[in-house]
Structure 1
Amino acid sequence: MRLQIVITLAAIIICDAKLPSMKSHLQSNELPPNPTQNSQALRLLEVQAKSAKTSRIVNEYKARHRRDTFDSKTYNEYSLIWAYSERLDENGDVVLRWVKSDSSITFRVEARTRGYVGIGFNSARNMRGADLVVAWVDDRNNHAHVLDCHGHEFEDQAVADDVQNYELVSGYQNETHTTVEFRRLLDTCDVQDFIISEDTIQVLWALGPDGSDGDLPKHVKSGSRPLRLLLPVAKPETIPLRHWDVRLNNLTIPHVMATLFWCKIFKVPDLPRKHHIIGYQPLIDSRPIRDGVPKFEKNSLSPVHHMVLYECAEDPDKHMWNEWALGDGFYGPNRPSEWATCVTPIAAWAMGSKGEFLPENVGIPLGESTGVSYYMLEVHYDNQALHEVLDNSGIRVHYTPALRAHDAALLGAGVGVSALHVIPPKQKQYRTVGICSPECTNSTMPEEGINIVSVLLHAHGTARKITLKHIRGTEELPRISEENSYDARYQQSRVVPGGRRFFKGDTLITECTYDSSGRDKPILGGYSASQEMCLSFVLYYPRTELAGCYSMTPVKEFFETFGVREFYGLPMMQVENIFLSSGNLESMPPQLEYDMRQHSSEETAMQGDDQGVGLMKELIIREPPEFRNKTFMAHLNEMPWSEPLLTEQIEKTLYKGMHMTFCKKRDDNWAAPIQIQNYPNYTELISNETAEKSCNYKSVRLPNINKSASGLHTNPLMSAILAVCAMTLVVR
C-alpha cells in the first residue's frame, strides 16, 4: 500500500514537472486549441505509428528462418483440386481459385505482376477496415511470402496484423506472373480478420509495381468483385446431359430505351417421355452497334439485367402458340393477353450468377407428356447508358432422361411489383416486406408439406440485406435464407443446408433492407434498375399448383399513410383496380388516360413498363386541403424525409400494418381469394450464434519487440508512472 502511494505521489510530481498546466498558458481572451486540429494530429500520429509497426513487422518477416518462407525452386504444382475459379478483373490479370474444408479455406492467386499482389475481404468495396493478405516472391532468392494485414480505418493503407493467421502453402513467379497459394481458417477469432461465411463479400485485389517485394508502396492497379466463397460444388458429371438453348434472335435494343422487357414463346423439345431439368446457365451475347454494325468488344458490359423462364399453362388451341413460338416475341407491356398464363418460373437468372445445378434428388419435369408444351422467356435489359445493342442472350437449360427421385418447382414470393412499393430517400436502413399468407399455403400444399431446396434472393441497387423468414403459428423458425451483404452485381442462388420442411398453414416473409442515403427522392417499385424490387424465388419439392405468393400495401391504406385521402376524378376503388392490373391504362377513365399519354415524359417512356409510376405523376390531390392541387408524386418528393420520426412511422405503418395478399396457381387462376389482413403476430427469432461461439487465439504470433521506435527500453515501474500521468491529465 505504501509503495502504491509513493508511486502515485511520484507520478503527480513528474506530471506537474513535465506537463504544463493548460490554464497557465491561456490568457483571458484566448480560446482553447482547436479540437478538430487535435483530432487530425492524433489521427496522423496513429497512421505514422501503424506504418512504422508495419515496416518493422515486414522486416522481421523477411528476416525470419527459411522454414517460414517457400523456396520456389522446389515448386511442384499443388495437389489440391480447385473447386472454384473466378477472374477478379475484366482482363483476367488477377485470377482467384479456392477450395474449402470444414473449417478452413485455401486460395491460389495468379496475378500479372512481378511485385506484390494483395487480396482483401470486406463488406464495402474499399480497403478501409478490410482483411488483407499481401503476397510476393522475393526477386533475390525466389522465396514466397504472405503477410496478414488489415486496412486502416481512415486511410487507404495496409497495416500488418498483430496476429498472422494466413499460412503460406507455395509460390513462384515467372517473367510475367506471380502465383501464390495460402490458407486460413474461415473464422480466425481475430478482430482484424474478416469472417468468411455464407454471405456475399467484396473480394478486393491490388497489384504492386514490379520489385515491390513487401515494401507495400501504393498499388498500380486495384478493384473489387462481389463473390460468395462458400458455394456448393456445381455441375454433376456422372449422368447423361442434354441441353436446350432458349435465347432471343438478333433483338435490337434501341438507344432510346433505358429499360426494356422482351418476352418470347418457345416450344418444348420433342421428347418421347418425361425428362428432368437439372440445371441452367446464362447465355450472354450482347454486341454494341457501332456505325450501324454490331461489334464484338471483349470488355463491353451487357445490358442484360435478369432473365426468367416461365412455364405456360396448357392450351388446347395450339395453332396460335406455334405461331408465337416461330415469331420474334413482344415488348413486355404489349404481349398478347394469353401469355398471362405463363406464370410458373422454372429458371431465374440475375447479374453475376453463373446459373444453378439442382441437388441430385430433384428435377423439374420437361416434355409434353408433363402437360407443358410452351415456355416464355422474359429478358430485362438495363440500358441506362442508352447504347444501341444487338442481343442474342438467353438461358441454356440442362436436362436428362435419368429421372430423379422428386419433381421440383419454383415459387415466386415477396413484394408485388408496383409503384406502391416505396423506399424513402436519405435512409441508411429502411425495411419493406412481402408476405406469402397461411391461407395460400393451406390451399395449395399437401398434408406432408414441401421441402425447400434453394432460394434466389432478388432486388436492385439500393438493397443491402434480404431475408426469407419462416413462421409457424406464432413462432419464427430459423431463417430459410439470408443475405446480409447483398450486392445487385452478384445474384447467385443459395442452397438451404439440409433442406427445410415447410407445412400447410406456414407463412413465408421476404424482408428487404435498403440504403437510400445517397438518394434525394423516393424510390418506387418497378422493373427498371432505377426502381426497386423485393423478391425470392424458392426451389422446392414435391411440385404443387402454386406459382406465386405475394403481398402489397392496400391502396387506400397506402395513400392515407402519406396523408392523402382523395384525388380529383378518380375514386380510390378505381385507383386500386388500376394498380391490380399493373398500371394498365385501359382501366382508367378515357380523359385521364388521354392526359397521361399526352403528359408522358421522355424519361417515363425510356423506362418502359413502369407499374404505375406514370399514374403517380398524374393523380391530383383533392383532400386534404393542405396538399390540394399537387400531384401525388410532387407531394411525395416534397415530404421532409430528413425527419426520423416521419420515416420511422411510415416504415412501421407499411411494414407492420395491413397487407393485401395474392395467391396465384400455375394456370393464372387464384388459389385463394385476394385478402386484406394484418401483419402476422409472432415471436421473432433471436440468434444466439455469437454468444455460443467460443474463440481461442491459437494463431502464431510474431516475436514481440521490447524497444520503441527511438530504441529506448521500457520497464513496468515507468509504465505504471506514465499510466498514472495519463489519468491525471484526463482528470485535469
Structure 2
Amino acid sequence: MNLSRTLLVALFIIGVSGFSYDELSRQYDCKLQLDSAGNYTMFYTIDEDDKLLSIAIHVQTTGWVGLGLSPTGQMPGSDVVIGWVDNSGASFFQDRYAFDRTIPRYDGSQDWKFIGSSEDNGITTFLFERLFETCDEGDIAISAGDTTHLIYSYHSEDPIDNQHISQHEFQGVKTVNLFGQLQNTADPPANLQYVDVVNANVTVPSKDTTYLCTLIELPSQFKNKTHYLVKTAAQITPDSARHVHHMLLYLCDGFNLTGDPAVGVSQECNGISQKILPCRSSIVIASWAVSGNDFTYPADIALPIGGADKIHTHYLLEMHYDNPDKISGIVDSSGMRLYFSDKPRQEVAGIVTLGKLATGHMIIPPGVQRYTVRGFCANQCTNANFPEEGITVFANLLHTHTAGAELILRHIRNGTELKPIDVNRNYDFNYQQINIIPSAKILKGDEMILECVYNTGHRNTTTFGGESTSDEMCISVLYYYPATNLSNCLSYTIPSAYAEWMSTYLLPEQYYAIAAAAVNNISSARPVFDSLDWSEENYRMLERIGQTSEQVNVCVSGKGKNYGSTFASSKPPLIEVPFEGEGQCVKGSNGSPSVVLVIHSSNLVMIIVMCLLTIYSFP
C-alpha cells in the first residue's frame, strides 16, 4: 500500500468523516462506475510487485453494500464481500462465497482484508484488499488480462445482524479487464475537435453474416494540416445494436481516391474494386468489438492523420453485421467518432494485426472442451519492418468469436520466451475491450505467437476459420509506437500439412473429398468432417499438426504504390526456454465472523498509536 493511501486509511480509522469521490480518485489508480445511475463507484489500485488488489467502493446508500468477483456474471460461484456501518458507527465486513442464488455463505478463510469504512452524507464507503492468489477454493484468482465479471449490490437499510441480510434492492454486473484500464488521468480537453465516420442509413442484408465497406472522404482541413487522434468512441445505432458485431476503420494511406464513384457507397467488402481493396490492408486507426468501451490514448501518444506531406484523402469503414435470424429491414448508421488534438505528442502510434488468417484451413473439431490453435508473426517480418530500437506496445485487443475461451500473445526472442504481451484466460465474446498494456518492448527479429483456446463442447458440427460469427477467428490488434509501415503479420497452415492426419483417420472416399476441397476452401467439405469419428487421439493429432507444422507467414506492409505482401513458409517459432510465470499462491489466514469497530476521534491514545504506525511504516 502506498504512503498516500496509508494516510487515507489512518484517517478512516480515527473517525474522520467520509472522503469525497475526488479524494478517492486521487488516491487510487483506476475507477469504474458500476451502475448507469452513478450511485456505485469502485476505485482500485493493482500492485503487481506485492500481488495485491486494493479497492474502495463509494455507494449512495446508508444500508449494506456488496461486491463480488463472478466466473460468469451470475451469483452462483461468486467470491463476495458484504459490509455496512450501523447507527453506532460500528463497521461490519465479511468475506463470503455464493453457492447459489441465496445469501452468500461466510467464507472460513477471510482473505478479503478490511481496511476502513465510513458513512457520511448518505454515502457508504469501504476500503479493502486481497492478494491475487489465496489458495482458497472459495476465492477467484485475480489474473492479469482476464475478463472479470464484477457483481455489485446494495440495500437502503442495514441487516438486523450477521445472519439476517435482506435481499438486495439494487444489483447489477459490470464486465471489465481490471488490468487493462487506463489509470486515472485528466480527461481529454472538452474542446477537442471530433469527426463522425459513420454509415448513412445502411440497410443490413437479411443474411447470417455481412461485411460492409464504406469509403468516406476525410474533411478538407485534414488535407493541409496534420491532426492527432487521441480518442475513439463507437457510435452505435440503438435499434440495430445487437446486429453490430465489430468494426474496423482504415486510413487509406498513400492512396488518392478523390472523385472515386464508390465514395459514400456501402457495399459488401468482398466486392469492392481493386483500386480500393488495398485500403483494407492499410493502417487501422480505430477498432471496436462487442461491448467495447471508448479508447483514450495515453497522454504522451497520438496517431497523426493528414497533412500536406501525406496522401490521406479517405477512410474505409468496415462493419461486421450479425443477423442469424435473417431479419429484413434493419437500418443502421453506426460508426466511429474520432477525437483530435491540433498539438503533436511525444510518440507516434501505429497499429498492427497479428494472429491466424481466418480461412477454412483453420479446423476446430466439435465436442472438444479445450482445443488450441496458433498463428504467428515470424522474425522475417519484424526484421524487415521494425526499427533497430524496436517498438513499444501500449495497448491490445484480443478477438475470437463465440467458441473462444482463452488467448495468449506469446513473445519470443532468440528462442527464449519472454513474459506474454497479453493474456486472457477467461475470454468473454460479449466483452471485447482494448486493454492498456504495461510497456512491452518488441525488438527487430523478435517473434510472436497468438495462441487461441476454443471450447466446442456444445457443438456437434466442425468449426472453421472465417468471417461469420459461427466461424472462428484468432486475432490480436496491437497498438504500439513508433509507427511503422507494417499493417498485418498473420499465418495460416499449409493444406498439405494435414496429409498425415488424413491418411491415418480418413477412409479413402473421405480423404479424396477433403483433398479436392482443400484446393479452394477446405471448409466446403464440412459434411465429411462432421461425419468423422472425433476420438481424442484423432483431434489431438490434428491439433498438434496445426501447432507445429509449417505455416505461411503473411507480412503486409508499405503504403500507396509501395504497398505489398510477402508470403514466406516457415516452421512456427521455436521456444527453447519457456517463460515461467509465478504461479505461486499464498495461503490466506482463517477467520470467523466478527465486528470491526470504527475507532472514534475521542480515543486519543489509539489516534496516537495509529499515527505512529503510519509514520514508522515507511523509512
Global fold match (TM > 0.5): yes
From 162, 173, 178, the counterpart of 1:229: 178
TM-score by length of 1: 0.68
SS in 1 for 2:436: strand
Q: Aligned pair 1:105/2:54, yes or no?
A: yes
Q: State the match for 1:278 in structure 2.
A: 230
* Post-superposition offset of 1:394: 1.1
SS in 2 for 1:689: coil
Q: State the match for 1:244 in structure 2.
A: 195
* Post-superposition offset of 1:253: 2.5
> In 2, are the aligned partners of 1:144 and 1:171 still within 8 Å (CA)?
no
Q: State the match for 1:637 in structure 2.
A: 530
SS in 2 for 1:442: helix
Matches for 1:296-307 after TM superposition, within 5 Å: 301-307=241-247
The 1:277–1:701 alpha-carbon spacing in structure 2 relative to 1, beyond 3 Å, is: same
Q: Once the two structures are superposed, what CA deviation does each residue of 1:556-596 show, in whole Å capped at 9, x if it has no partner?
A: 334663456889999969954x45xxxxxxxxxxxxxxxxx
Q: Which amino acid counterpart does residue 250 of structure 2 have in structure 1?
A: Y
The 1:525–1:550 alpha-carbon spacing in structure 2 relative to 1, beyond 3 Å, is: same
Q: State the match for 2:612 in structure 1.
A: none
From 309, 324, 328, the counterpart of 2:262: 324
Q: Which blocks of at least 5 consecutive residues in structure 1 are unaligned?
A: 1-66, 289-300, 580-611, 617-631, 705-732
Q: Once the two structures are superposed, what CA deviation does each residue of 1:687-728 show, in whole Å capped at 9, x if it has no partner?
A: 24134x7x4757976579xxxxxxxxxxxxxxxxxxxxxxxx
The 1:106–1:365 alpha-carbon spacing in structure 2 relative to 1, beyond 3 Å, is: same
CA distance in 2, matches of 1:506, 1:671: 21
* Post-superposition offset of 1:666: 3.9
- Identify the structure with the greater strand proportion: 2
Q: State the match for 2:600 in structure 1.
A: none
**Identical columns (%):** 24
The 1:688–1:248 alpha-carbon spacing in structure 2 relative to 1, beyond 3 Å, is: closer
Q: Aligned pair 1:170/2:118, yes or no?
A: yes
* Post-superposition offset of 1:172: 6.3
* Post-superposition offset of 1:236: 4.8
> In 1, are the aligned partners of 2:34 and 2:42 still within 8 Å (CA)?
no
Q: Once the two structures are superposed, what CA deviation does each residue of 1:174-205 show, in whole Å capped at 9, x if it has no partner?
A: 6xxx8443321353746244343432212123
Q: Once the two structures are superposed, what CA deviation does each residue of 1:624-649 show, in whole Å capped at 9, x if it has no partner?
A: xxxxxxxx2111112222x2211111
From 184, 208, 213, the counterpart of 2:129: 184
* Post-superposition offset of 1:507: 1.2
Q: Which amino acid counterpart does residue 370 of structure 2 have in structure 1?
A: Q
Q: State the match for 2:275 in structure 1.
A: 338
CA-atom RMSD, angstroms? Answer: 3.7
Q: Which amino acid counterpart does residue 284 of structure 1 have in structure 2?
A: I
SS in 2 for 1:324: coil
* Post-superposition offset of 1:304: 1.6
CA distance in 2, matches of 1:265, 1:234: 36
CA distance in 1, matches of 2:434, 2:245: 15
> In 2, are the aligned partners of 1:144 and 1:172 still within 8 Å (CA)?
no
CA distance in 2, matches of 1:685, 1:207: 46
The 1:101–1:575 alpha-carbon spacing in structure 2 relative to 1, beyond 3 Å, is: closer
Q: Which amino acid counterpart does residue 267 of structure 2 have in structure 1?
A: F
* Post-superposition offset of 1:410: 0.6
Quick check: 79-88 or 96-105, which moved more? 79-88
Q: State the match for 1:28 in structure 2.
A: none
CA distance in 1, matches of 2:344, 2:517: 49
SS in 2 for 1:166: strand
> In 2, are the aligned partners of 1:186 and 1:197 still within 8 Å (CA)?
no
> In 2, are the aligned partners of 1:362 and 1:404 still within 8 Å (CA)?
yes
Q: State the match for 1:81 in structure 2.
A: 25
Instruction: Choose between structure 1 and 2 for higher RCO, CA contacts under 8 A separated by at least 6 residues.
Output: 2
Q: Once the two structures are superposed, what CA deviation does each residue of 1:69-102 show, in whole Å capped at 9, x if it has no partner?
A: 9999x6564531276555656x659734223264
Q: Aligned pair 1:309/2:249, yes or no?
A: yes
CA distance in 2, matches of 1:171, 1:382: 47
From 404, 424, 445, the counterpart of 2:365: 424
Q: Which amino acid counterpart does residue 262 of structure 2 have in structure 1?
A: W
The 1:148–1:385 alpha-carbon spacing in structure 2 relative to 1, beyond 3 Å, is: farther
SS in 1 for 2:368: coil
Matches for 1:557-572 after TM superposition, within 5 Å: 557-558=497-498, 561-563=501-503
CA distance in 1, matches of 2:271, 2:159: 59
Q: Once the two structures are superposed, what CA deviation does each residue of 1:606-662 show, in whole Å capped at 9, x if it has no partner?
A: xxxxxx75xx1xxxxxxxxxxxxxxx2111112222x22111111111111121211
Q: Which amino acid counterpart does residue 347 of structure 1 have in structure 2?
A: A
Q: Aligned pair 1:350/2:289, yes or no?
A: yes
* Post-superposition offset of 1:434: 0.7
The 1:280–1:134 alpha-carbon spacing in structure 2 relative to 1, beyond 3 Å, is: same
CA distance in 1, matches of 2:12, 2:383: 62
* Post-superposition offset of 1:373: 1.6
> In 2, are the aligned partners of 1:71 and 1:144 still within 8 Å (CA)?
no
* Post-superposition offset of 1:400: 1.6
Q: Which amino acid counterpart does residue 351 of structure 1 have in structure 2?
A: V
> In 2, are the aligned partners of 1:117 and 1:208 still within 8 Å (CA)?
yes
Q: Aligned pair 1:146/2:84, yes or no?
A: no
* Post-superposition offset of 1:450: 2.4
> In 2, are the aligned partners of 1:456 and 1:536 still within 8 Å (CA)?
yes
CA distance in 1, matches of 2:72, 2:127: 23
Matches for 1:682-721 after TM superposition, within 5 Å: 682-691=575-584, 695=586
> In 2, are the aligned partners of 1:86 and 1:96 still within 8 Å (CA)?
yes
The 1:159–1:680 alpha-carbon spacing in structure 2 relative to 1, beyond 3 Å, is: same
Q: Which amino acid counterpart does residue 556 of structure 2 have in structure 1?
A: K
CA distance in 1, matches of 2:210, 2:366: 25
Q: State the match for 2:150 in structure 1.
A: 203
* Post-superposition offset of 1:341: 1.0
- Identify the structure with the greater helix proportion: 1
CA distance in 1, matches of 2:58, 2:456: 35
Q: State the match for 1:46 in structure 2.
A: none
> In 1, are the aligned partners of 2:551 and 2:569 still within 8 Å (CA)?
yes
Q: State the match for 1:538 in structure 2.
A: 478
